[in-house]
């Protein structure tokens, strides 16, 4: 019982620590690298792509997309320390000309240049983002979300992936020509 309370307390503290924009609570956790690779594979990311990671954390998704697949990308992240960490890592890996990280609310992003959008947010934020994705992304653009769906917008594919942290569900949507 004591252990369960302690775990619940830690989880609540994690959510509280990440409630950086009022009403937009997102846990401060990272996508395990093995799952990052599966997200990029599910979206079919290549050197022709421009990836946008909305809530880019430590930048791992876009850095892997640039390093392993030659893609370009832009990350939107509200935590300045994470933006600095991502930017520094990209520079040290010689990827600064391919990926950049902006300290900005993801709802302010202009998504029109994106061909792939990656998300690991929350059920609520995904649903709030849906109209923006549908109005700004071009036909054929792909969206991959780690763990969270888009309500009644059925994904084109789902994939179950295991990591040493457990099992992860990935969702893929492809922007239709008409909305
Ligand atoms: C669960 S983490 C995912 C990080 C990374 N995309 C990954 O998969 O490892 C979500 C990130 O979104 C950021 N975030 C939450 N709300 C945001 C907002 N409104 N605008 C920009 N970033 C936001 C948080 O600071 C956090 O770093």
pLDDT at 16: 35
Contacts of 160 (CB under 8 A, 6+ apart): 167, 168, 169, 170
**pLDDT, mean of each 10-residue run, the chain (179 residues):** 39 39 72 98 98 98 98 98 98 98 98 98 97 97 98 97 98 91
pLDDT digits (tens, 9 = 90+) for 80-92: 999 999 999 999 9
Beta partners for residue 100, in sequence order = 74
pLDDT at 26: 81
Distance CA 60, CA 63 (A): 5
pLDDT digits (tens, 9 = 90+) for 152-162: 999 999 999 99
Compute the mean pLDDT over every residue in the chain, rounded to the nearest whole number.
89
Q: Structure tokens of 20? A: 């950086």
145: left (phi over 0), alpha (psi -120 to 50) or beta: beta
Please give all residues whose beta carbon lies within 6 A of any atom in ligand 1, as ranges. Answer: 18, 20-21, 24, 26-31, 53, 55-57, 60-61, 76-79, 82, 105-106, 120-121, 146
Query: Ligand 1: which of 53, 59, 78 to mutate, most ligand atoms within 8 Å of CB?
Result: 78
pLDDT at 15: 38
Nearest CA to ligand 1 atom 4: 57
Q: What angle do the packed helices 80-92 and 60-69 form, to 10 degrees?
A: 20
């Amino acid at each position: 019982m004591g252990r369960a309370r302690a775990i619940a307390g830690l989880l609540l503290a994690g959510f509280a620590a990440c409630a950086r924009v009022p009403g937009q609570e997102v846990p401060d956790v990272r996508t395990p690298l093995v799952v990052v690779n599966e997200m990029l594979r599910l979206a079919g990311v290549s050197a022709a792509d421009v990836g946008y990671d909305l809530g880019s954390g430590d930048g791992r998704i876009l850095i892997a997309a640039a390093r392993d697949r030659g893609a370009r990308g832009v990350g939107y992240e509200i935590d300045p320390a994470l933006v600095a960490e991502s930017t520094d890592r990209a520079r040290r890996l010689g990827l600064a000309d391919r990926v950049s990280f902006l300290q900005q609310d993801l709802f302010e992003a202009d998504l029109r240049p994106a061909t792939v959008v990656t998300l690991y947010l929350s059920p609520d934020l995904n649903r709030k983002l849906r109209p923006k994705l549908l109005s700004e992304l071009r036909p054929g653009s792909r969206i991959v979300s780690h763990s969270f769906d888009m309500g009644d917008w059925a994904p084109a594919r789902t994939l179950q992936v295991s990591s040493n942290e457990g099992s992860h569900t990935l969702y893929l949507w492809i922007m239709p020509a008409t909305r």
